Structure 1
């Protein structure tokens, strides 16, 4: 892979479902274009990585015709996107490592994301 994209997700959280699909949509699009994609979840966004949460959130509101957030998450993962949870955010929001969705690759915090932003081979997006 020649393209690399790191996505920081911090404002999209279960309390704002209308913001949640876009980061996954961009991740899936980039991964489908053969980019290596990593998503870093911090702040309240880490709660999106709890089992069952994405299944209950509808970015366009229930009855809008849009699928639940889990659809967008699965699309991104299906194309190869790797999901990481910030350990500090997990601790702040009471998320145990063993409580994360099976799609989550592991934990990675600020230093990992900053490492990507400082690497000239990587591009970044923030949601």
Structure 2
């Protein structure tokens, strides 16, 4: 039976790009190991789900170096392995992210109650970034 992992992403602030790729890296690794993975974005991290934002962020801060990957590359990789991405509607409102501006990879909107539901379910494990 595959494991289930819910990841809360709250501290991956786009103004601190070196913190933004790691949650996607862990999500991709878990999904590649056949885990069911969901990521819940809140606080400023919800901005990573806005079209165009992650493309301009590099975890090492060097967009022009050969072989460098943007945060969007990590996001697409995690999604490609089956990770589902959810934006917190309260965070979206607080940070001016409209539903129309969300990336196509975003599964939908889900907030605190959805993530807490996962933490209380014995069939799910959780991580926070």
Same fold per superposition (TM over 0.5): yes
Give the secondary-structure state (helix, strand or coil) at the position aligned to 1:52. Answer: coil
Residue in structure 1 matching 2:85, options 83, 86, 89: 83
Q: Where does residue 111 of structure 2 map in the other structure?
A: 109
Residue in structure 2 matching 1:99, options 98, 101, 106: 101
* Equivalent-residue separation in structure 1 for 2:80 and 2:92 (angstroms): 24
Residue in structure 2 matching 1:69, options 62, 68, 71: 71
* Equivalent-residue separation in structure 1 for 2:55 and 2:101 (angstroms): 16
* Equivalent-residue separation in structure 2 for 1:10 and 1:66 (angstroms): 24
TM-score by length of 1: 0.97
Would you say how many aligned residue pairs link Structure 1 and Structure 2?
127
Q: Where does residue 37 of structure 2 map in the other structure?
A: 37
> Mind listing any 5+ residue stretches in structure 2 that lack a counterpart?
none
Misfit runs of 4+, over 2 Å: 63-66
Quote the offset at 1:98 in angstroms.
Answer: 1.2
CA RMSD, Structure 1 to Structure 2 (Å): 1.0
Q: Where does residue 12 of structure 1 map in the other structure?
A: 12
